[in-house]
């Protein structure tokens, strides 16, 4: 049987990055526990629109935990209370009738607020542009067995590549560090033979871009690992540190 609950939402409202924001309170009544969190916001926005009020701006795309577009702090936790789940895949059955939900955007200097719950995460794109790729000649695909890859290395690379770039690691970190994101992107290539030729340049370039964007330093709180919807491990941060240290000794791009 479909169950409904009533909630109180305290939502961060901010018209632009240059204006001062504030929390506003909205009732969310008759919310089906089968709804996702974003569907619940849709219902609230429909009511606001009918009342002639401006709806809450929030970001989304696939709503399937794939694209990484969604993301907000719910009661102080990135993507909400459920571990290993993006906000769009969080369902309302994990909340109780009468709960108060405080919803606010990612808080980081590198993620300025655009409007309400939407932040500018283009800093992550600039980090990728600094080295999150491999350079290969165009043409037909290489023969599958020409570059043998150990199964364990392939699995570790795939685990790192699971990062969807949502920014939860930055929002959860007390220092707003992007180390988990950068380490995942570095690791997915460093573990494979195709990524080794540019490994040193990649590590130096992406770390420099991270620093230039204004992200903080890692201090091993492990909040990033806990908040990551894809449960990317901080083992990748140790790998990034090794890659960066090695690059500092051997690279000519210091």
Please give the domain boundaries of the chain with CATH numbers for all domains. 4-114 (3.10.20.30), 122-137+147-250 (1.10.1060.10)
- Residue 137's pLDDT band (cuts 50, 70, 90): confident
Q: Span 147-162, mean pLDDT? A: 94
- Residue 142's pLDDT band (cuts 50, 70, 90): confident
Q: Per residue in 50-72, pLDDT tens?
A: 999 999 999 999 999 999 999 99
SS3 8: strand
Cβ contacts of 133 within 8 Å, gap of 6 or more? none
pLDDT at 135: 87
Q: Are strands 73-74 and 77-78 parallel, antiparallel or unpaired?
A: antiparallel
Q: Report how far residue 45's alpha carbon sits from residue 53's, in angstroms, rounded to the nearest whole number.
A: 9
Q: Span 121-139, mean pLDDT? A: 91
What sign has the CA pseudo-torsion 77, 82, 88, 91?
negative
pLDDT at 33: 96
φ/ψ bin of 92: left (φ > 0), alpha (ψ from -120 to 50), beta (otherwise): alpha
- Residue 141's pLDDT band (cuts 50, 70, 90): confident
pLDDT at 253: 58
Does the structure show a pLDDT above 60 at 254? no
Q: How far is residue 21 CA from its own chain's centroid? A: 22
Does the structure show a pLDDT above 60 at 89? yes
Q: How many CB atoms lie within 10 A of CB 151?
A: 7
Q: How many CB atoms lie within 10 A of CB 137?
A: 5
Does the structure show a pLDDT above 60 at 7? yes
pLDDT at 1: 57
Q: Per residue in 32-50, pLDDT tens?
A: 999 999 999 999 999 999 9
Does the structure show a pLDDT above 80 at 144? no
Quote the mean pLDDT of the chain.
94
Q: Span 220-235, mean pLDDT? A: 96
Q: How many CB atoms lie within 10 A of CB 50?
A: 8
Question: Which candidate, 125, 38, 86, 70, places its Cα nearest to that of 232?
Answer: 86
Burial of 243 (0-12, 13-18, 19+ CB in 10 A): buried
pLDDT at 251: 66
């Amino acid at each position: 049987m479909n169950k409904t609950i009533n909630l109180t939402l305290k939502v961060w409202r901010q018209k632009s990055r240059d204006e001062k924001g504030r929390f506003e309170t909205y009732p969310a009544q008759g919310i089906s526990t089968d709804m996702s969190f974003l569907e619940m916001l849709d219902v609230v926005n429909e009511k606001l629109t009918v009342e002639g009020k401006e709806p809450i701006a929030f970001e989304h795309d696939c709503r399937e935990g794939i694209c990484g577009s969604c993301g907000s702090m719910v009661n102080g936790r990135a993507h909400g209370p459920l571990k290993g789940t993006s906000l769009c895949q969080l369902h309302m059955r994990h909340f109780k009738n009468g709960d108060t939900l405080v919803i606010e955007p990612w808080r980081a200097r590198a993620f300025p607020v655009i409007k309400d719950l939407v932040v500018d995460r283009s800093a992550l794109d600039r980090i990728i542009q600094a080295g999150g790729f491999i350079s290969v000649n165009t043409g037909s695909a290489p023969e599958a067995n020409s570059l043998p890859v150990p199964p364990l290395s392939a699995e570790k690379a795939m685990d790192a590549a699971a990062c969807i770039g949502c920014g939860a690691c930055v929002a959860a970190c007390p220092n707003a560090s992007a180390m988990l994101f950068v380490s995942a992107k570095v690791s997915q290539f460093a573990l494979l033979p195709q990524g080794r030729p540019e490994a040193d340049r990649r590590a130096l370039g992406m770390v420099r871009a991270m620093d230039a964007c204004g992200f903080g330093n890692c201090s091993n709180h492990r909040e990033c690992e806990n908040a990551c919807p894809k449960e990317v491990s901080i083992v990748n941060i140790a790998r990034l540190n090794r890659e960066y240290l090695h690059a500092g000794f051997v690279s000519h791009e210091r």
